[in-house]
């Protein structure tokens, strides 16, 4: 009966040391650190505790002015959450602009850049040709309050400021038109 080949002891020792190093590194990375906090660009996808009251949350203009979400009452609103670092957001923005142009003053469109640098958000708005109002949701408070969990998220508000639909993920122009027709009775 043939003997199975033996591995050189140096290879066994090196493999063991590498495995031990990998295990130690994994432990260090995954260890529970009470002082650790997420990096500032992290968006909480599962909020902790109670959701904020939508009437009490604000977004910020590029000039730094706080604007209450309640100011959007009065007409139906398409509220889109985007970020310059989000590829589906970039792809979706021209479709939103197309529907915005088709509907004119029937619906207010507002885009909120989530946890994004103002200059990056403004550059994206310019690059994609968006003409509707955009501002900042610096810490994702507005998106969280309205039930958003991913980027992009589009929320439809009726004229009373009530959420009638939340769509997590990219929309094309036809999907947005259908959502507006189904949820708000608005057709272009």
Question: What is the structure's pLDDT at 15?
Answer: 67
E strand spans, the chain:
58-60, 66-68, 77-82, 108-114, 133-137, 153-157, 163-168
**pLDDT tens digit sequence for 85-116:** 999 999 999 999 999 999 999 999 999 999 99
**pLDDT tens digit sequence for 18-71:** 666 666 655 555 554 444 433 333 344 444 556 567 678 899 999 999 999 999
In the chain, the domains with their CATH numbers are 55-184 (3.40.30.10)
| Cα–Cα separations (whole angstroms), residue 4 to 1, 7, 12, 97, 150 | 9, 10, 15, 69, 54
**pLDDT tens digit sequence for 6-18:** 667 676 666 676 6
Question: What is the structure's pLDDT at 9?
Answer: 67
**What is the C-alpha to C-alpha distance for residues 161 and 92, in angstroms, rounded to an integer?**
24
pLDDT band at 147 (very low <50, low <70, confident <90, very high): confident
**pLDDT tens digit sequence for 109-121:** 999 999 999 999 9
Question: What is the structure's pLDDT at 51?
Answer: 56
Provide φ and ψ at 59, rounded to 5°. Answer: -115, 170
The residue ranking higher by pLDDT, 5 or 86, is 86
Question: What is the structure's pLDDT at 56?
Answer: 84
**What is the C-alpha to C-alpha distance for residues 18 and 12, in angstroms, rounded to an integer?**
10
Question: What is the structure's pLDDT at 114?
Answer: 97
Continuous segment of H or E residues that includes residue 120? helix 118-128
**What is the C-alpha to C-alpha distance for residues 163 and 166, in angstroms, rounded to an integer?**
7
């Amino acid at each position: 009966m043939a003997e199975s080949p033996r591995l050189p002891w140096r290879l066994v020792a090196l493999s063991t040391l590498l495995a031990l190093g990998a295990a130690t590194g994994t432990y260090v990375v995954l260890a529970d650190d009470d002082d650790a906090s997420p990096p500032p660009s992290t968006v909480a996808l599962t909020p902790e505790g109670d959701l904020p009251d939508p009437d009490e949350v604000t977004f910020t203009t590029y000039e730094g002015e706080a604007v209450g979400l309640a100011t959007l009452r009065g007409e139906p609103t398409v509220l889109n959450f985007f970020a310059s670092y989000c590829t589906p957001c970039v792809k979706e923005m021209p479709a939103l602009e197309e529907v915005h142009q088709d509907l004119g003053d029937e619906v207010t469109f507002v885009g909120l850049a989530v946890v994004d640098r103002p200059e990056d958000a403004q550059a994206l708005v310019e690059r994609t040709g968006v003409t509707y109002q955009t501002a900042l949701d610096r810490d994702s408070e507005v998106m969280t309050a309205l039930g958003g969990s991913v980027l992009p998220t589009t929320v439809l508000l009726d004229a009373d400021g009530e959420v009638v639909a939340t769509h997590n993920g990219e929309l094309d122009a036809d999907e947005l038109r259908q959502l507006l027709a189904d949820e708000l009775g608005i057709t272009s």
